[in-house]
Structure 1
Amino acid sequence: MIFTILKVIGIILLVVLALILTALLCVLFVPVKYRAVGSFDNTDIRAKAHASWLFHLFALHIEYADETDGYIRLVFVKKKLFDNYEAFNDDVMDDAAKTETEDKVSENTGDEPKISADESEHITDEQAEDECTASTHNGYRSVTDENQHIKQQTKLTHKKTYKKRSKKPHKKQFKDKSDKIKNCIYKLKREYSDERNKVAFSHLKKELFIILKRICPRRLKLTMVYSTGSPDTTGISLGVLACFPVGYTNRWRITPDFESEKPYAKGSFDIKGHVIVISILAATLRILFDKNCRRLYNRISR
């Protein structure tokens, strides 16, 4: 009996360890694929970006045209990223405006019933009561309107005062961050001038280039027709673009328009690639376990 219980516990532990190992191997070796496709015509930009992992069980999709839309999918659960709050608020405001206009029209066009001379004596008391109730109701409405107007004014003044007060701390935070960045750059320059740290900087440069190579897209297509408005600047920009090897290695199709008198640019692009976690993790571990890099980090963090 005890042997069977231990056997069942051992099988369960082995299954759990196997699941953990397979999940770890999937995270390390299954690539994260991404692709972005789009077109542009001056300011009219339309693009789609999609990233997926593990046979599209985990995916992220974003579209941009007139409005931004997208979703994230985790196995079989799909959730939208951007909710159209503005359209919802516009619909609510339109409905409220319609109800208000209908109420006003019904009040203005309401037909008053005709009263005979015999019934007028009996209705005088009721009319007096109705006039009293109407006057109190109008008074109540005027008071509520005044209260709402006062609340709106107080909100506006509160927002203005809050904005005026919040300028100084934002400036201080920005100044503190800029000072930190300047100090960091100064420390890096000082450490780079030291010959003992040149080995660490060369190692960092090598590993960072490896990480960028692993992250960069495998395919980067571009087709574009453009003009700067004048033939000389169009030719100069074409010469500058031809200097970069990214263009001719990926066979970009860039056509200059020397006859157009207005600046414009239109075309399409296609970006595709994948990222393997194990390659980036290996590069970061090589940086962390390097003695020269650790000594450089300790000197900068002081």
Structure 2
Amino acid sequence: MSFLLILKFLLKLIIILLCLVVFVTVSVLFYPIRYKIKGKVDTENNNICVDGKVTWLYHIVSVFFHVKEVDIKNFDTDVYLKIFFKKKYFFSTEDLEEKTEDLKENKEVLKEPKEDSENSKKFEENSEEEIESSVTTEKNVNDNESLQYKTDVQNVNEAQNEKKVNLVTKVKKIFSNILGFLKRIKYKFKSFITNKKNSSNKNTSAVGKLYKKIKMIYNDSDFKYTYAFLKEKIILLLKIICPKKVKGFAEFSLAEPDKTALVTSFFTLFPVFYAKSFHIYPDFNAEKKYVLAEFEMKGSFILLSIIVLLLKVWFNKKVMKFLGKIRRVYNA
């Protein structure tokens, strides 16, 4: 009976563990990754504020970020990860300010003992020098009186000889400097011409090799297929990740009607920006550049859909063959 009870207990444990594994895999693959971004932009009053949140796995894992403009060049930013109730900061302006203050304090503390040690050393050196100078001065007074007459006579003779020698040496130096200067100019001119020829040959050879490699890749038979395939998959990935709901408005001016019209035409290429809940108001009459906007974006996507897209690319033989060719051409 005891053996059967142990078997039952083990079977129950195995079933519970299998259920847990299935639950975790299904939740990781099928539970949506949700994100929400809110923001306000007012360039006239220097007011920019953006808040965002990304949640996953029943709100167990979440990422938060906050950006707010303090000055024209300074922003308060906070980015942190939250797992259950534990927070881990990736980036925070407060932490950076504290670190910089601590570094400044440490530098000041390190400077103070150095100054004290330097002052003590200087004081000791000055005291030793004063004692030595007092002893030597007494000896030098007696010796200097006897040597003055001898030195005066020697100085007169040496001055006459030095004048003759200096004239000869100066003439020799002038001729040697002129010859050295001419040799340097000749050497620099030759090196400049050789370097120019070598650099031009290297540049032409490098550009030619790169052009040949690009031409080989472009003329390959699998290039068109891989380009079309990857383009289709990238568009699908953008559709999956793009926000599903967009609310708000945007009013802007670039102080010139041509530029404002060009920017508005660029925004109309994307369906997200001209949705019913989001409105764009270009100002063609304003003389100053400004942006006034409020927006809220919500979106969600499943991790399984991205994995399926990547697996389709990975198991496509033509695409992987072409990527292998690119590597070989690049390394050649």
User: TM class, shorter-chain normalised?
Assistant: 0.5 to 0.7
Task: Report the Cα distance in structure 1 between the residues aligned to 2:101 and 2:116, rounded to whole angstroms.
Answer: 31
Name 1:81's counterpart in structure 2: 90
Please report how far the alpha carbon of residue 279 of structure 1 lies from its aligned counterpart in structure 2 after TM superposition.
0.6
Name 1:202's counterpart in structure 2: 228
C-alpha spacing 1:53/1:86, structure 2 compared with 1 (3 Å): closer
Task: Report the Cα distance in structure 2 between the residues aligned to 1:189 and 1:275, rounded to whole angstroms.
Answer: 39
Which one-letter code corresponds to 1:19 in the other structure?
L
Cα pair 1:219 1:250 within 8 Å, conserved = no
C-alpha spacing 1:64/1:299, structure 2 compared with 1 (3 Å): same
After TM superposition, the structure 1 = structure 2 runs for residues 131-150 of structure 1, keeping only pairs within 5 Å, are 140=117, 142-143=119-120
- SS across alignment from 1:217: coil
Name 2:40's counterpart in structure 1: 39
Name 2:326's counterpart in structure 1: 300
Task: Report the Cα distance in structure 2 between the residues aligned to 1:198 and 1:3, rounded to whole angstroms.
Answer: 66
C-alpha spacing 1:206/1:187, structure 2 compared with 1 (3 Å): farther
Please report how far the alpha carbon of residue 235 of structure 1 lies from its aligned counterpart in structure 2 after TM superposition.
3.9
Which one-letter code corresponds to 1:53 in the other structure?
W
The C-alpha deviation readout for 1:62-109, integer Å capped at 9, x for no partner, is: 10113112332112323333342344357769999xxxxxxxxxxxxx
> Given the two structures, how large is their TM-score scaled by the length of structure 1?
0.63
The C-alpha deviation readout for 1:3-52, integer Å capped at 9, x for no partner, is: 32232222212211111111000010000001111111225321001000
Task: Report the Cα distance in structure 2 between the residues aligned to 1:140 and 1:200, rounded to whole angstroms.
Answer: 72
Cα pair 2:246 2:275 within 8 Å, conserved = no
Q: Determine if the alignment matches structure 1 residue 28 to structure 2 residue 29.
A: yes
Which is worse superposed, 256-265 or 49-58? 256-265
C-alpha spacing 1:143/1:279, structure 2 compared with 1 (3 Å): farther
Please report how far the alpha carbon of residue 188 of structure 1 lies from its aligned counterpart in structure 2 after TM superposition.
6.7
Which is worse superposed, 263-272 or 201-210? 201-210
Task: Report the Cα distance in structure 2 between the residues aligned to 1:139 and 1:24, rounded to whole angstroms.
Answer: 66
Q: Determine if the alignment matches structure 1 residue 62 to structure 2 residue 69.
A: no
> Looking at CA atoms only, which structure, 1 or 2, has the larger radius of gyration?
2
C-alpha spacing 1:204/1:48, structure 2 compared with 1 (3 Å): same
Cα pair 1:224 1:253 within 8 Å, conserved = yes
Task: Report the Cα distance in structure 2 between the residues aligned to 1:264 and 1:52, rounded to whole angstroms.
Answer: 34
Task: Report the Cα distance in structure 1 between the residues aligned to 2:275 and 2:212, rounded to whole angstroms.
Answer: 37
C-alpha spacing 1:244/1:25, structure 2 compared with 1 (3 Å): closer
Name 1:275's counterpart in structure 2: 301
Which one-letter code corresponds to 2:81 in the other structure?
I
Kindly report structure 1 stretches of 4+ aligned residues shifted beyond 4 Å: 89-96, 138-141, 185-189
Task: Report the Cα distance in structure 2 between the residues aligned to 1:93 and 1:291, rounded to whole angstroms.
Answer: 56
Task: Report the Cα distance in structure 2 between the residues aligned to 1:265 and 1:59, rounded to whole angstroms.
Answer: 31
Cα pair 2:252 2:282 within 8 Å, conserved = yes
Cα pair 1:57 1:75 within 8 Å, conserved = yes
- SS across alignment from 1:294: helix
C-alpha spacing 1:78/1:210, structure 2 compared with 1 (3 Å): same
Task: Report the Cα distance in structure 1 between the residues aligned to 2:272 and 2:212, rounded to whole angstroms.
Answer: 33
Which is worse superposed, 213-222 or 250-259? 250-259
- SS across alignment from 1:273: strand
Task: Report the Cα distance in structure 2 between the residues aligned to 1:243 and 1:213, rounded to whole angstroms.
Answer: 15
Task: Report the Cα distance in structure 2 between the residues aligned to 1:30 and 1:24, rounded to whole angstroms.
Answer: 10
Q: Quick one: which of 49, 54, 57 aligns to 2:52?
A: 49
Which one-letter code corresponds to 1:142 in the other structure?
N
Name 1:8's counterpart in structure 2: 9
